[in-house]
Amino acid sequence: MSTKTSWTGRVRAATLEKFEPEDLLPEVQPAYVASWIYIFGVATLAALVMLVASGLYLTLEGPAWWHTSNIGHYVNSVHLWSVELFFVFMVVHLWGKFWMAAWRGRRLATWITGCLAFFASIITGFTGYIIQTNFDSQWIATQAKDGFNAVGIGAFFNTLNTGQAILLHVSLLPLVLGGIVIWHVILVRRKGVVPPIDEAGE
Amino acid sequence: MLRILEINLNHPAHYVSVGPFSVSAGNLTIIISMFAIFVVALFLPFPDHAQSEKHAALKSEKR
């Protein structure tokens, strides 16, 4: 039982017990990590950093800028290609982890948070496509509205409401996705990178 | 000079259709690329891998 008298002390003690600095920021990795299939998690994170950086720039300047200026076109393209790479890296990461059964060794929460991050990314990507403010976004929004109405969520999420979609895309969903990703990375660090099946002796 | 790198996208998308399945050429390219990247990642030797094996071999020789 903890001897700490305040909740801050108890939280600190519990955090230090569960998250050791050596686990959170390791300097070396097991030999089996020296394989290309292990780089796609961090490649996904790198694409996410580019996404957030270019997204912040787009948020500051707005649609009139990204549709009309050269630098706006460039930053808009960086944001688009970061999304493409983000999903490509994430899907290859998912395939790799699925085929090495990465939920082994009490890593189920890591696997589940990865799945949640994937679904949150799809919703975030979708809201991004409908706030482009061009004919493409109009087409996607009008087609998606029928789909959302058909499954009964049209009353809560109206894809023709650009204001709602923008707020979801630039505030709520990045917070949700960012939180899940941080949780996922902390779990990876805490449990360690999953070993190959033959290495684990299973 | 960079104009030769430009791709004109100002036309309806090209689609590949096989029976009931239909996919845009752009999406199909990305899906095929993902499979290719996955296979390459499995079999391409990691730069440090050979070196670390050599290092391990040298270490075991010294013992």
What is the tens place of the pLDDT at every residue in B49-63? 566 666 556 655 655
Structure confidence at residue B1 (pLDDT):
63
Structure confidence at residue A43 (pLDDT):
97
The neighbouring-strand residues paired with B22 are B17
Structure confidence at residue A48 (pLDDT):
97
Answer yes or no: are the C-beta atoms of A88 and A48 closer than 8 Å: no
Which residue do the tokens 């090495």 mark? Answer: A100
The answer to whether the CB atoms of B34 and A92 lie below 8 A apart is yes
In this prediction the pTM is 0.86
The kind and range of the H/E element at B35 are: helix B25-43
Q: pLDDT (tens digit, 9 = 90+) per residue, B9-47?
A: 788 889 999 999 999 998 999 999 999 999 999 999 988
Take residue B60 and report the two structure tokens written for it: 């075991």
A37 and chain B: CB distance < 8 Å anywhere? yes
Give the Å distances, CA to CA, from A178 to A123, A131, B34, B48: 13, 20, 24, 32
Query: Amino acid identity, residue A98?
Result: F
Report how far residue A5's alpha carbon sits from residue A94's, in angstroms, rounded to the nearest whole number. 44
Which of A42, A66, A199, A60 is CA-nearest to residue A132? A66
A92 and chain B: CB distance < 8 Å anywhere? yes
What does the pLDDT profile of chain A (202 residues) look like in tens digits? 557 789 999 999 988 888 888 888 888 888 888 899 999 999 999 999 999 999 999 999 999 999 999 999 999 999 999 999 999 999 999 999 999 999 999 999 999 999 999 999 999 999 999 999 999 999 999 999 999 999 999 889 999 999 999 999 999 999 999 999 999 999 999 988 999 888 755 5
Q: Suggest the residue from A32, A44, A90, A92 to mutate for an interface test with chain B (most B CBs closer than 10 A).
A: A92
Q: Categorize the per-residue pLDDT at B7 as very low, low, confident or very high, splitting at 50, 70 and 90.
A: confident
Structure confidence at residue A188 (pLDDT):
93
Answer yes or no: are the C-beta atoms of A58 and A76 closer than 8 Å: yes
Structure confidence at residue B60 (pLDDT):
59
Mean pLDDT of B1-12: 78
Structure confidence at residue A2 (pLDDT):
57
Report how far residue A95's alpha carbon sits from residue A89's, in angstroms, rounded to the nearest whole number. 10
Q: Suggest the residue from B27, B42, B44 to mutate for an interface test with chain A (most A CBs closer than 10 A).
A: B42
Residues with Cβ within 8 Å of residue A154, at least 6 apart in sequence: A145, A148
Give the Å distances, CA to CA, from A93 to A40, A198, B34: 5, 20, 10
Which of A187, A183, A66, A185 is CA-nearest to residue A128? A66
